[in-house]
Structure 1
Protein backbone atom coordinates (compact mmCIF):
# COMPACT_ATOMS: atom_id res chain seq x y z
CA UNK A 1 0.00 0.00 0.00
CA UNK A 2 1.11 3.52 -0.83
CA UNK A 3 -0.09 6.80 0.64
CA UNK A 4 -0.14 10.25 -0.77
CA UNK A 5 -0.82 13.66 0.69
CA UNK A 6 -3.18 16.23 -0.87
CA UNK A 7 -2.84 19.85 0.26
CA UNK A 8 -4.72 23.09 -0.44
CA UNK A 9 -8.17 21.47 -0.35
CA UNK A 10 -11.31 23.60 0.02
CA UNK A 11 -13.42 23.27 3.17
CA UNK A 12 -16.42 21.88 1.24
CA UNK A 13 -14.69 18.62 0.26
CA UNK A 14 -15.35 15.38 2.13
CA UNK A 15 -13.77 11.91 2.14
CA UNK A 16 -16.06 10.59 -0.60
CA UNK A 17 -15.47 13.59 -2.91
CA UNK A 18 -11.72 13.23 -2.50
CA UNK A 19 -11.98 9.52 -3.31
CA UNK A 20 -14.05 10.21 -6.45
CA UNK A 21 -11.50 12.74 -7.69
CA UNK A 22 -8.62 10.25 -7.43
CA UNK A 23 -10.53 7.08 -8.36
CA UNK A 24 -9.60 7.28 -12.10
CA UNK A 25 -5.96 6.61 -11.16
CA UNK A 26 -6.37 3.58 -8.90
CA UNK A 27 -8.63 1.64 -6.63
CA UNK A 28 -8.73 3.76 -3.48
CA UNK A 29 -8.25 1.83 -0.25
CA UNK A 30 -8.88 4.83 1.98
CA UNK A 31 -9.45 8.56 1.64
CA UNK A 32 -9.30 10.83 4.63
CA UNK A 33 -9.85 14.57 5.07
CA UNK A 34 -7.96 15.75 8.15
CA UNK A 35 -9.62 17.76 10.90
CA UNK A 36 -8.09 19.15 14.06
CA UNK A 37 -8.53 16.51 16.77
CA UNK A 38 -9.51 19.09 19.41
CA UNK A 39 -11.71 21.53 17.49
CA UNK A 40 -12.93 19.34 14.63
CA UNK A 41 -12.09 22.13 12.17
CA UNK A 42 -10.93 21.21 8.67
CA UNK A 43 -7.16 21.58 8.27
CA UNK A 44 -7.00 21.97 4.47
CA UNK A 45 -5.46 18.63 3.54
CA UNK A 46 -6.10 14.93 3.28
CA UNK A 47 -4.61 11.56 2.45
CA UNK A 48 -5.34 8.77 -0.02
CA UNK A 49 -4.09 5.20 0.35
CA UNK A 50 -3.82 3.02 -2.77
CA UNK A 51 -2.33 -0.36 -3.69
CA UNK A 52 0.62 0.32 -5.96
CA UNK A 53 3.39 2.79 -6.66
CA UNK A 54 2.64 3.21 -10.37
CA UNK A 55 -0.90 4.36 -9.60
CA UNK A 56 0.50 6.79 -7.04
CA UNK A 57 2.91 8.26 -9.60
CA UNK A 58 0.07 8.53 -12.14
CA UNK A 59 -2.18 10.26 -9.61
CA UNK A 60 0.54 12.71 -8.58
CA UNK A 61 1.33 13.50 -12.21
CA UNK A 62 -2.33 13.77 -13.17
CA UNK A 63 -3.67 15.68 -10.17
CA UNK A 64 -0.81 17.81 -8.80
CA UNK A 65 -1.60 21.45 -9.62
CA UNK A 66 -5.08 20.64 -10.94
CA UNK A 67 -8.21 22.46 -9.83
CA UNK A 68 -10.46 20.57 -7.43
CA UNK A 69 -13.53 22.43 -6.21
CA UNK A 70 -12.20 25.74 -7.61
CA UNK A 71 -8.78 25.47 -5.93
CA UNK A 72 -5.41 24.29 -7.22
CA UNK A 73 -4.28 21.30 -5.16
CA UNK A 74 -0.83 19.92 -4.35
CA UNK A 75 -0.30 16.15 -4.39
CA UNK A 76 2.82 14.44 -3.00
CA UNK A 77 3.82 11.03 -1.69
CA UNK A 78 3.12 10.81 2.05
CA UNK A 79 6.27 10.99 4.16
CA UNK A 80 6.99 10.28 7.79
CA UNK A 81 7.34 13.46 9.85
CA UNK A 82 10.72 12.61 11.29
CA UNK A 83 12.31 10.74 14.11
CA UNK A 84 9.81 11.36 16.91
CA UNK A 85 8.67 7.75 16.64
CA UNK A 86 12.16 6.33 16.73
CA UNK A 87 11.63 4.47 13.45
CA UNK A 88 14.12 1.95 12.25
CA UNK A 89 14.05 3.05 8.64
CA UNK A 90 12.58 -0.31 7.59
CA UNK A 91 8.90 0.69 7.79
CA UNK A 92 6.90 -0.05 4.66
CA UNK A 93 5.07 2.75 2.85
CA UNK A 94 1.68 1.77 4.29
CA UNK A 95 2.99 2.18 7.83
CA UNK A 96 4.58 5.51 6.88
CA UNK A 97 1.26 6.69 5.43
CA UNK A 98 -0.69 5.67 8.55
CA UNK A 99 1.86 7.29 10.85
CA UNK A 100 1.88 10.48 8.77
CA UNK A 101 -1.94 10.66 8.77
CA UNK A 102 -2.17 10.10 12.49
CA UNK A 103 0.60 12.54 13.37
CA UNK A 104 -0.90 15.31 11.26
CA UNK A 105 -4.28 14.60 12.83
CA UNK A 106 -2.64 15.28 16.19
CA UNK A 107 -2.08 11.78 17.48
CA UNK A 108 1.17 10.92 19.19
CA UNK A 109 3.12 7.78 18.40
CA UNK A 110 2.22 6.39 21.81
CA UNK A 111 -1.47 6.76 20.83
CA UNK A 112 -0.82 4.68 17.73
CA UNK A 113 0.86 1.95 19.74
CA UNK A 114 -1.85 2.04 22.43
CA UNK A 115 -4.60 1.75 19.84
CA UNK A 116 -2.75 -1.10 18.16
CA UNK A 117 -2.48 0.64 14.77
CA UNK A 118 1.20 -0.07 14.38
CA UNK A 119 1.26 -3.49 16.01
CA UNK A 120 -2.01 -4.85 14.61
CA UNK A 121 -1.94 -5.58 10.87
CA UNK A 122 -5.74 -5.86 10.56
CA UNK A 123 -6.02 -2.28 9.23
CA UNK A 124 -4.22 -3.46 6.07
CA UNK A 125 -7.21 -5.50 4.88
Structure 2
Protein backbone atom coordinates (compact mmCIF):
# COMPACT_ATOMS: atom_id res chain seq x y z
CA UNK A 1 0.00 0.00 0.00
CA UNK A 2 1.19 3.49 -0.81
CA UNK A 3 1.52 6.29 1.71
CA UNK A 4 -0.19 8.79 -0.62
CA UNK A 5 -3.96 9.09 -0.14
CA UNK A 6 -6.62 10.66 -2.34
CA UNK A 7 -9.34 12.64 -0.57
CA UNK A 8 -12.49 13.32 -2.54
CA UNK A 9 -15.91 14.97 -2.12
CA UNK A 10 -14.42 17.72 0.04
CA UNK A 11 -16.12 21.01 0.75
CA UNK A 12 -14.72 23.81 -1.41
CA UNK A 13 -14.07 25.71 1.83
CA UNK A 14 -11.86 22.97 3.33
CA UNK A 15 -8.26 24.05 3.86
CA UNK A 16 -4.97 22.19 3.96
CA UNK A 17 -4.88 22.86 7.71
CA UNK A 18 -8.32 21.20 8.05
CA UNK A 19 -6.99 18.09 6.28
CA UNK A 20 -3.78 18.05 8.29
CA UNK A 21 -5.70 18.23 11.60
CA UNK A 22 -8.20 15.56 10.55
CA UNK A 23 -5.62 13.08 9.25
CA UNK A 24 -3.33 13.54 12.24
CA UNK A 25 -5.70 11.31 14.24
CA UNK A 26 -4.38 8.40 12.13
CA UNK A 27 -0.68 9.28 12.38
CA UNK A 28 1.96 11.66 11.11
CA UNK A 29 0.97 13.73 8.09
CA UNK A 30 4.01 14.60 5.98
CA UNK A 31 2.26 16.66 3.28
CA UNK A 32 -1.15 17.93 2.20
CA UNK A 33 -2.15 19.32 -1.18
CA UNK A 34 -5.60 20.52 -2.26
CA UNK A 35 -6.16 20.58 -6.02
CA UNK A 36 -7.15 24.02 -7.28
CA UNK A 37 -8.33 25.42 -10.58
CA UNK A 38 -5.31 27.15 -12.19
CA UNK A 39 -7.39 30.04 -13.50
CA UNK A 40 -9.51 30.84 -10.45
CA UNK A 41 -7.42 29.36 -7.64
CA UNK A 42 -10.62 27.81 -6.25
CA UNK A 43 -10.56 24.32 -4.75
CA UNK A 44 -11.77 21.48 -6.98
CA UNK A 45 -13.04 19.58 -3.93
CA UNK A 46 -10.26 16.99 -3.79
CA UNK A 47 -6.71 16.66 -2.61
CA UNK A 48 -3.87 14.44 -1.49
CA UNK A 49 -2.51 13.59 1.93
CA UNK A 50 0.80 11.79 2.46
CA UNK A 51 1.23 9.80 5.66
CA UNK A 52 4.59 8.87 7.21
CA UNK A 53 4.06 5.10 7.06
CA UNK A 54 1.93 2.66 5.12
CA UNK A 55 0.34 1.50 8.39
CA UNK A 56 -0.76 5.06 9.13
CA UNK A 57 -2.15 5.40 5.62
CA UNK A 58 -4.16 2.22 6.09
CA UNK A 59 -5.42 3.49 9.44
CA UNK A 60 -6.44 6.80 7.83
CA UNK A 61 -8.47 5.00 5.16
CA UNK A 62 -10.20 2.77 7.70
CA UNK A 63 -10.89 5.63 10.10
CA UNK A 64 -11.62 8.60 7.83
CA UNK A 65 -13.33 7.22 4.70
CA UNK A 66 -16.87 8.52 5.21
CA UNK A 67 -15.86 11.08 7.85
CA UNK A 68 -17.44 14.53 8.01
CA UNK A 69 -15.23 17.51 7.09
CA UNK A 70 -16.83 20.96 6.94
CA UNK A 71 -20.30 19.41 6.65
CA UNK A 72 -19.35 17.10 3.74
CA UNK A 73 -18.77 13.35 3.85
CA UNK A 74 -15.32 12.73 2.36
CA UNK A 75 -13.90 9.69 0.63
CA UNK A 76 -10.39 8.47 1.37
CA UNK A 77 -8.53 5.95 -0.78
CA UNK A 78 -5.06 5.03 -1.95
CA UNK A 79 -3.90 7.56 -4.54
CA UNK A 80 -3.33 6.10 -7.99
CA UNK A 81 0.03 6.83 -9.62
CA UNK A 82 -0.08 9.88 -11.84
CA UNK A 83 -0.17 9.00 -15.52
CA UNK A 84 2.52 10.46 -17.72
CA UNK A 85 1.13 12.67 -20.44
CA UNK A 86 1.67 10.93 -23.74
CA UNK A 87 2.11 12.83 -26.93
CA UNK A 88 1.69 11.38 -30.38
CA UNK A 89 4.94 10.55 -32.13
CA UNK A 90 6.11 13.38 -34.36
CA UNK A 91 5.58 12.85 -38.06
CA UNK A 92 8.73 12.71 -40.09
CA UNK A 93 8.78 14.38 -43.46
CA UNK A 94 5.92 15.42 -45.66
CA UNK A 95 3.32 12.92 -46.78
CA UNK A 96 4.07 11.33 -50.11
CA UNK A 97 1.62 11.12 -53.00
CA UNK A 98 -0.07 8.16 -51.33
CA UNK A 99 -0.80 10.29 -48.26
CA UNK A 100 1.73 8.56 -45.99
CA UNK A 101 5.26 9.77 -45.34
CA UNK A 102 7.97 7.82 -47.13
CA UNK A 103 5.62 6.01 -49.49
CA UNK A 104 5.94 6.49 -53.21
CA UNK A 105 3.09 6.15 -55.60
CA UNK A 106 3.55 3.24 -58.00
CA UNK A 107 4.38 4.32 -61.57
Pair in the same fold by TM > 0.5: yes
Poorly superposed stretches of 4+, deviation over 4 Å:
none
| Counterpart for residue 122 of structure 1 | none
Residue 73 (structure 1) aligns with = 74
Counterpart position of 1:94: none
Partner residue, 1:15: 16
**TM-score, normalising length from structure 2?**
0.72
> What 5-or-longer segments of structure 1 have no aligned partner?
86-125
- For residues 22 and 64 of structure 1, the distance between their equivalents in structure 2, rounded to whole angstroms, comes to 11
The 5-angstrom pairing of residues 76-95 of structure 1 reads 76-84=77-85
The structure with more helix, counted as a fraction of residues:
1
Report matched runs for 1:1-125 at 5 Å: 2-84=3-85
**Per-residue displacement from partner, 1:59-113 (whole Å, max 9, x unpaired)?**
001000121111110001111243536xxxxxxxxxxxxxxxxxxxxxxxxxxxx
> 2: distance between equivalents of 1:83 and 1:42?
23
Corresponding residue for 1:106? none
How many residues are matched? Answer: 85
Larger radius of gyration: 2
Structure 1 residue 38: Cα displacement:
2.3
> What is the root-mean-square deviation in Å for CA atoms of aligned residues?
1.6
State TM-score, norm by structure 1. Answer: 0.62
Does the 8 A contact of 2:34 with 2:46 survive in 1? Answer: yes
